[in-house]
Amino acid sequence: MIRPLLRPRLLVPLLVVVATAGGYAWWRSQPGAAPAERWRLEAVDRGDVVQVVSANGTVNPVTSVNVGTQVSGSIVRLHADFNSEVKEGQLLAELDPALFNAALAQSEANLNAAQAALRLAQTKEARTRSLVGKGFISQAELDTAVKELEAAQAQVELVRAQVARDKTNLRYTIIRSPISGVVVARNVELGQTVAASFNTPTLFQIARDLSRMQIETSIAEADIGGIREGLQARFRVDAFPGQFFRGEVRQVRLNPTIQSNVVSYTVIVSADNPEGRLKPGMTAFVQVTANRRDGVLRVPNAALRFRPPAEAGQAGANAAAKGSGGGSAGRRDAGQRVYKLVDGKLAAVPIQVGVSDTSWTEVTGGEVKEGDRLVTRDLAGQGGPQSQVRLRMF
């Protein structure tokens, strides 16, 4: 047996409700509807307009040094670890010096041999010069003796340079801190062999002062025009949700970064870290105050975006025509206008605008004043809550 979806005694009241709602929606969509019902209005007022540029960056120490080694060898002693506070010149690690001691001993022995040869050459040159003066031998013999003396002197200098180099390499087996600070990273273990044949291996990373940090963030070229040194910034990190830290733009680097045809610039934001809560490597979400206007006349951004239904439709048709024609993207109209109700009808009001934020735009000129109520939305034509009536029956 098939039961009817609606009982006859409920059908008539339901049809009355549908007809009433449809009639009310139709009346709301008519131009003659009451302005308070048809349009959403917001007042022009005075207040602050703050233009903020947002970006992400990484927290790093202001000064950090990678400590490496210029010679190869095995780590035989470690004198510093993670988070160790070190002073400039303090011992950090030692490499096995056996091979360097042997090389130095060999060079010193070569130096002794070269000095002995030099003394012999000096004696021979003096004796030859005496004999030439007495006429017993020719001048050629003296020239040969002088040449041998000069060669012996050069050999001594050469070996002395080798001794100095071996002493320097021996000193390089002692790794010392170049600055005073905190050991942020230790990349070697006791007994590990480090090779410095092609590049300098990093043994430690030392941060000079963790009470002062900096954030390296990337700002797009569309926003970089408003960023300059000295601007105030604030940022937060995931380790302290809901808490903002204060900073200041310290440097705007001129070197651009281009990725997938997107140009950006590196901006350095410095911040104090007296309590040490900011750690190197944290991700910071930065907000830089690019422009600020206090107590200015301002209009809601929604009022600048609003266009009457007929005008909005024409703008959409023009945009579609330009897109199909393959022309370049249209520029934004330099003139701005808003709409207010005059005798229940929309009236366009031209204005000049300044700084904008996410909600408000500064008014720098035009025919609006504080207290004017501007149209921000067509409730009937732009999806108002009563513009459509839907009925679902089960």
Across 286-290, average pLDDT:
93
Q: Report the percentage of the chain scoring pLDDT > 70.
A: 80
CATH 3.30.70 is held by the domain 97-172: no
Q: Is the pTM of this model over 0.85?
A: no
- The sign of the dihedral angle between the CA atoms of 320, 301, 294, 50 is negative
Residue 305 tokens, joined: 């975006």
Coil/strand/helix, residue 25:
helix
Q: Residues 22, 27, 30, CA angle at the centre, nearest 5°? A: 130
- Residue 333 pLDDT level (bands cut at 50, 70, 90): very low
For residue 279, how many other CB atoms are within 10 A of its CB? 13
Average pLDDT over residues 130-137: 89
Residues in CB range of 332: below 8 A, 6 or more apart: none
Question: What is the average pLDDT value for the chain, to the nearest integer?
Answer: 85
Please state the domain extents for the chain. Answer: 97-172
For 226, residues 6+ apart whose C-beta sits below 8 A from its C-beta are 51, 53, 290, 291
The span from the CA of 187 to the CA of 109, in Å, is: 38
**Tokens 């600048």, residue located:** 304
Three-state DSSP at 330 gives coil
Looking at residue 115, what is its pLDDT?
A: 96
Tokens representing residue 234 in the block: 């604030």
Q: What is the pLDDT of residue 8?
A: 55
Q: How far from chain centre, in Å, is Cα 303? A: 35
Q: What is the pLDDT of residues 6-42, one digit of tens each?
A: 455 556 666 666 666 665 555 555 554 455 567 899 9
Residue with tokens 């034509």: 381
